[in-house]
A and B are shown apart, each in its own frame.
Chain A
């Protein structure tokens, strides 16, 4: 039981390049989330998927897109990376949406955009 897994763990991009961060969970959770963590800012929600087949914007969605591929997988895409997107990205999942369930987090992806 791996919980929430993310790939890659580290990535360096040049400005304008694109990439997709992958996330998968094996807990049969309905809801999945993408956060970014910047120094002194805590975690901020980028996008979420309350259930398979739905996605919605969080606090800081600009410059990102997401895909809920199936119940297990939720990917985050940067179409044209910018230095302001340098951050640590966390994927999370929870059993249900809006019920105050604990969110389980992946190990994070450290992204640097030059």
Chain B
């Protein structure tokens, strides 16, 4: 089946620093999604991307859908302590597919 490689696996940064994480796939996706999961809770959708090359922002978060449709990145600018959590990328291989394929997550720790 399809697999997503998400990196880095974990990051330890100082408050105020920028963060970048990415996902790559061996197959093409038509939709890329980025979620954040806090301990004991479900993933919360941050950004959805629908077109190759699309660059979308949500506050301090920016995500891009790679031109090849096989990768995506998420940037967080000026990190704050509440950014701590696990960030997951997810992809839909084609329309009407329904199910999402998830990466294994990037655990972000922000030191005040």
A binds B: no
Q: Which residues on A are within 8 Å of B, measured CB to CB?
A: none
Q: Which residues on B are within 8 Å of A, measured CB to CB?
A: none
